[in-house]
Amino acid sequence: MSSGAALQCSGYPEEKLQALTPILMCREAQAETLLTLMGEPDQYSYPSVFIYGHRATGKSHVLFTLLTELQIPHAAVSCVECVSAGLMFEQVLSALFGVDAASLLPRSPSLSDFVRVYRQACLQHPAQETRYIVVEKAELLRDMEVNLLPALLRLQELVDDNVTVFLLSEIVWEKFRPNTGCFEPLLLHFPDYTKAELLHILSRDTHPSYTPELYMSYINILLGVFYSVCRDLRELRHLAALNFSKFCEPLEKGEARESDTHKLWKNIEPHLKKAMQSVYLREVSSAQWEQQQTDEKEATALRGLSAHAHVELPYYSKFLLIAAYLASYNPARTDRRFFLKHHGKIKKTNFLKKHEKTSNHLLGPKPFALDRLLAIFYSVVDSRVAPTASVFSQISSLVTLQLLTQVGHDDQLDSPKYKCAVSLDFILAISRTVSFDIVRYLYDFL
């Protein structure tokens, strides 16, 4: 019975528990705690248990493996799928009592209906063993009906049945508690995998034509690059699968042998760093990434989305956007200095003394009036432009492109206010196309 690492819990067939141990690797302690909390099938269990932990730490995996392999009656609902509470009730009832029970629910059922139908069904099928309801992504419960969460937490009392509700979430319980409090669930934490555990798990999916040791060393390199940024097992696994072919390239070409670890590392390292800037940020899809790997020559030309971060705009629109950027990031009192040829006696030293400590590029864009925008626009654009309707319509099309945002209400016709909503890199790219040196005009960079 006591064979070290194997799971133990009385009330369940031993051989099944034995078989579970390899599936639940690195999560044995958590599985054991869960099993002891659940107790033997016919005993009562705590009304609600809240399980939290980071994404991909095996919360659902462990729970569902236990419930399905040990054939425990349970209902699984994910809050992402349940747009309304009614859908959730239907899923729970049909999973626990069959479709007949679920069909007893009226249209758009309330909690009261659910509890009534549950009690009815429960009378027909009295509990032989504990029933479980597993609610995934429980943080979304907060956005559903107000009473749903408190009611689920004390469902055992409300329906008077041997039922336990598991809530799974990656957000801590403190953020769930309603104003007047509620039934407090048991809290159970799933800790993150350590680096060694990640290595162990990731190196399990080996490539058939290469040795496991090679794959292990590959995973080691991958973790070296990504571990400080990302600890999500699922994401790491995805990255590992995508880049392995690149890693093996020198081996296939015959340029290196499996023992040339240094050579392999040199080959893959820059590649992985590039992957961090594109695949990890989801700027290219996996298919595009693989495409890039096959035709190496084009790879230099193909870049992520952020590299193409400029759009083609009409000539005046570009200047309007530049003017808007200047108006948003420069204080209004400095306009004289930047845009008047003879700005009088403002000395540069004096002027710089008033330098505020925090730059506007930290605080974000400030709103400005239309008049100021136009004034700056006329002074930066090199030719004379008449204030025609075309200029104004270009402003409103910049707003629809969401390069500018209008502040306040739309009904302010006489002096609308705007904010510039583009980044510094973007505006630098734009001003380069019209050969305008914007940095010279920015107060923050004096």
Partner 1 sequence: MSKRKSREKHLAVGECVSQVQRVLRERLCHQRLPDKPVGLESQYKHLLELLKRTVVHGESNSVLIVGPRGSGKTMLLRCVLRELLEVQEVKTNVLQVHLSGLLQTDDRIALKEITRQLQLENVVGDKVFGSFAENLVFLLDALKKGDKSSSRPVFFILEEFDLLAHHKNQTLLYNLLDVSQSAQAPVAVVGLTCRLDVLELLEKRVKSRFSHRQIHTLSSLSFRQYQDAFRSELTLQENFPDTKFCQEWNLGIKKLCEDKAVDEILQKHYNSFKDFRSLHSLLLLAVSRVSVSHPTLRAVDLLEASRMSSSDSKGNMVHGLSILELCLIIAMKHLNDIYEGEPFNFQMVHNEFKKFLQRKSHSIHNFEKPVVFKAFEHLLQLELIQPVDGGVCKAQKEYQLMRLMLDHTQVMEALQRYPQCPTDVKQWAVSAFG
236/251 with CB nearer partner 1: 236
Residue among 363, 342, 335 nearest 442 (CA): 335
| Least distance in angstroms from the C-beta of 345 to partner 1 | 34
The strand ranges marked E within 69-174 are 74-78, 131-136, 163-169
184/258 with CB nearer partner 1: 184
53/73 with CB nearer partner 1: 53
Q: Positive or negative CA dihedral for 14, 20, 25, 29?
A: negative
**Is the distance from CB of 72 to CB of 132 less than 8 angstroms?**
yes
Chain Cα centroid distance, residue 101 = 37
Give the amino acid at 238. H
| Least distance in angstroms from the C-beta of 250 to partner 1 | 25
| Least distance in angstroms from the C-beta of 292 to partner 1 | 18
Q: How far apart are CA 110 and CA 107, in angstroms?
A: 9
Q: What does the chain come to in residues?
A: 446
Residue among 189, 222, 186, 149 nearest 54 (CA): 189
| Least distance in angstroms from the C-beta of 385 to partner 1 | 28
Give the amino acid at 437. D
194/211 with CB nearer partner 1: 194
Interior angle at CA 296, CA 295 and CA 299, nearest 5: 100
| Bridge partner list, 75 | 133
180/400 with CB nearer partner 1: 180
Q: How far apart are CA 163 and CA 273, in angstroms?
A: 49
215/368 with CB nearer partner 1: 368
224/387 with CB nearer partner 1: 224
Q: What is the DSSP letter of 228?
A: T
| Least distance in angstroms from the C-beta of 421 to partner 1 | 6
Q: Positive or negative CA dihedral for 122, 128, 130, 134?
A: negative
145/213 with CB nearer partner 1: 145
| Least distance in angstroms from the C-beta of 347 to partner 1 | 29
Residue among 279, 269, 297 nearest 241 (CA): 279
| Least distance in angstroms from the C-beta of 280 to partner 1 | 7
| Least distance in angstroms from the C-beta of 180 to partner 1 | 6
